[in-house]
């Protein structure tokens, strides 16, 4: 009897152990969804099937575009393009898992590339980009796509930020024109917040989704930057001043509740609900607002700290990078040749509501008056240092820490980020 009982208990315990282990492991082995890409394999053999892993910009357009593109690619080259669309939430995890399993796609669409270039995984533009294509790319994006003297990050689309303001709230608060300086900006935000009835002066998103973007555009308009002359300047006096200013907006209750824990999308939603006086937005937000037709808004250049300063815009581009795999070079080159044809790249960008990455694209989009504010500033747009692999980690550190400055000490937060950036390079 005794033995059977303990036998049962032992079995139960082992069962529980196995279950616990299984659950624990399942939690970290999720998402190895990458099928085997047909590209690699026998040396010397040319790949006839390549795989694209692309980020999902929108449910409606991204998959539709790439599926159509795959058809065109097949018709033109005879090669097959496998398309896998992944949401932005999961793409870091998926791409990392693919590389880890030694099974990267041939083309990966991501918002970073430098670490991949540093690891020697990528083709440079010299290998896979026709010179006519490269010379059409905007210089700012060639620069941001260049690591160690070679271009690895081919831009797929771009965006530029500007100040969105609610015309109805401005009128109600007696504000004649959008602010040109930070002082005016603060006055206007105070006026809007003073309207009561849940009105919010400024929608400030410093939550982990994209706090580096919000901070970037403010610091650029105070003469600050992440890096200057090859050195990290995250805790420069201008940047400390900028973050202190943003914190003061929260302290003075000119922003929405808890800006350090508000993500960009939440701030956009609030603006779209008509409660918010101003928010830093980009063209996809304009498309949403135009669709909803609820908020009468205007778009203005960013206010600058200095009186009469030149407004700076924050530009973002994402990348299409190509992984070195045996035999896939020609197929990859054909991919880029087709993607950068005017009727492909610009169709994609237009459908997604973003901005062009090529000189010919700017010409083509010029007729759209709605985009005028952005297009003028785009060639001079200020970008984050995506050409530095260290930035890939610094960006994450910023996302996870910047928001704490709203309730903490801005200088201490920036000092810590500066230290981690210096340690990483």
The minimum distance between CB 17 and another protein, in angstroms, equals 6
Whose CA is closest to 143, among 133, 132, 128, 154?
154
- Per rule CB under 8 A, is residue 6 in the interface with another protein? no
- Per rule CB under 8 A, is residue 98 in the interface with another protein? yes
The minimum distance between CB 271 and another protein, in angstroms, equals 12
Q: What DSSP element (H or E) covers 223?
A: none
Nearer to another protein, 157 or 394 (CB): 394
The minimum distance between CB 414 and another protein, in angstroms, equals 14
Nearer to another protein, 315 or 410 (CB): 410
Q: Which of 27, 43, 197, 369 binds another protein (CB under 8 A)?
A: 27
The minimum distance between CB 8 and another protein, in angstroms, equals 12
Nearer to another protein, 326 or 404 (CB): 404
Using a 10 angstrom Cβ sphere, with 0-12 exposed, 13-18 middle and 19 or more buried, the burial of residue 403 is buried
- Per rule CB under 8 A, is residue 87 in the interface with another protein? no
Nearer to another protein, 79 or 384 (CB): 384
Using a 10 angstrom Cβ sphere, with 0-12 exposed, 13-18 middle and 19 or more buried, the burial of residue 353 is buried
Nearer to another protein, 166 or 377 (CB): 166
Q: Which of 100, 135, 248, 380 binds another protein (CB under 8 A)?
A: 100
The minimum distance between CB 272 and another protein, in angstroms, equals 12
Nearer to another protein, 63 or 393 (CB): 393
Q: Which of 1, 2, 4, 29 binds another protein (CB under 8 A)?
A: 29
- Nearest-5° Cα angle at 371, 215 to 336: 85
- Per rule CB under 8 A, is residue 274 in the interface with another protein? no
- Per rule CB under 8 A, is residue 99 in the interface with another protein? yes
Q: Residue 378, SS3?
A: helix
Nearer to another protein, 52 or 302 (CB): 52
**Spacing of C-alpha 219 from chain mean position:** 18
Residue 317, φ and ψ in degrees, nearest 5: -130, 150
- Per rule CB under 8 A, is residue 220 in the interface with another protein? no
The minimum distance between CB 108 and another protein, in angstroms, equals 10
Strand 107-110: give its sheet, edge to edge.
Answer: 80-86, 49-55, 107-110, 315-322, 154-160
Whose CA is closest to 384, among 318, 299, 300, 303?
318
Stretch that binds another protein, among 15-23, 147-155, 215-223, 298-306 (CB under 8 A): 15-23
d(CA 153, CA 124): 8
- Per rule CB under 8 A, is residue 248 in the interface with another protein? no
The minimum distance between CB 109 and another protein, in angstroms, equals 15
- Per rule CB under 8 A, is residue 372 in the interface with another protein? no
Nearer to another protein, 98 or 345 (CB): 98
- Per rule CB under 8 A, is residue 389 in the interface with another protein? yes
Q: Which residue do the tokens 């706090």 mark?
A: 211
Q: How far is CA 359 from CA 140, 160, 257, in A?
A: 11, 16, 42
- Per rule CB under 8 A, is residue 93 in the interface with another protein? yes
Q: Residue 381, SS3?
A: coil
Sorted by sequence, the CB contacts under 8 Å of residue 368 that are 6+ apart come out as none
Whose CA is closest to 278, among 185, 141, 211?
185
- Per rule CB under 8 A, is residue 75 in the interface with another protein? no
d(CA 366, CA 369): 7
417-424 long-range contacts, CB within 8 A, separation 24+? 417/234, 417/235, 418/232, 418/233, 418/234, 418/235, 420/393, 420/394, 421/232, 421/234, 421/390, 421/394, 421/397, 422/232, 424/390, 424/393, 424/394
The minimum distance between CB 33 and another protein, in angstroms, equals 14
- Per rule CB under 8 A, is residue 4 in the interface with another protein? no
- Per rule CB under 8 A, is residue 278 in the interface with another protein? no
Q: Which of 394, 410, 414, 418 binds another protein (CB under 8 A)?
A: 394
Size of the site for another protein (CB under 8 A): 58
By the criterion CB under 8 A, which residues form the site for another protein? 9, 13, 16-29, 92-93, 95-100, 115-116, 118-119, 121, 206-209, 211, 256-258, 260-263, 266, 270, 273, 275, 389, 392-394, 396-397, 399-404, 420
């Amino acid at each position: 009897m005794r033995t059977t009982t303990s036998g049962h208990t032992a079995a139960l315990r082992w069962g529980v152990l196995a279950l616990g282990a299984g659950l624990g492991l399942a939690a970290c082995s999720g998402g190895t969804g990458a099928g085997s890409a047909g590209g690699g394999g026998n040396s010397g053999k040319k790949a006839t099937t390549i795989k694209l892993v692309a980020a999902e910009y929108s449910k409606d357009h991204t998959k539709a575009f790439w599926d159509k593109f795959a058809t065109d690619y097949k018709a033109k080259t005879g090669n097959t393009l496998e398309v896998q669309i992944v949401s932005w939430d999961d793409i870091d995890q998926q791409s990392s898992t693919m590389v880890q399993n030694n099974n990267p796609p041939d083309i990966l669409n991501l918002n970073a590339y430098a670490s991949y270039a540093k690891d020697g995984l990528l083709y440079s533009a010299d290998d896979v980009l026709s010179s006519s294509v490269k010379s059409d790319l905007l210089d700012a994006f060639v620069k941001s796509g260049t690591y160690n003297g070679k271009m690895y990050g081919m831009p797929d689309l771009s965006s530029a930020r500007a100040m969105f303001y609610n015309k109805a709230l401005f009128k109600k608060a007696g504000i004649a024109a959008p602010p040109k300086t930070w002082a005016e900006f603060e006055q206007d935000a105070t006026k809007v917040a003073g309207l009561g009835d849940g009105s919010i002066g400024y929608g400030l998103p410093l939550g982990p989704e994209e706090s580096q973007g919000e901070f970037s555009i403010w610091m650029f308009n105070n003469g600050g930057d992440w890096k200057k002359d090859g050195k990290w300047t995250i805790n420069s006096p201008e940047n400390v001043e900028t973050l202190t200013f943003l914190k003061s907006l929260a302290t003075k209750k000119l922003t929405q509740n808890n800006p350090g824990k508000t993500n960009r999308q939440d701030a956009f939603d609030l603006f779209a609900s008509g409660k918010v006086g101003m928010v830093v937005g980009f063209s996809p937000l304009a498309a949403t607002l135009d669709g909803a037709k609820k908020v009468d808004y205007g778009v203005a250049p960013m206010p600058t700290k200095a009186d009469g300063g030149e407004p700076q815009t924050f530009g973002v581009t994402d990348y299409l990078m190509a992984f070195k795999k045996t035999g896939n070079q020609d197929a990859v080159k054909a991919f880029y040749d087709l993607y950068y044809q005017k009727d492909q790249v610009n169709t994609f960008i237009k459908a997604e509501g973003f901005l062009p990455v090529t000189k010919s694209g700017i010409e083509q989009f010029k007729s759209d008056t709605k985009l005028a504010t952005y297009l003028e500033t785009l060639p001079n747009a200020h970008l984050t240092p995506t050409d530095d692999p260290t930035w890939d980690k610094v960006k994450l550190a910023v996302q996870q820490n910047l928001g704490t400055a709203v309730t903490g000490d801005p200088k201490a937060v920036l000092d810590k980020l500066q230290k981690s950036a210096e340690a990483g390079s």
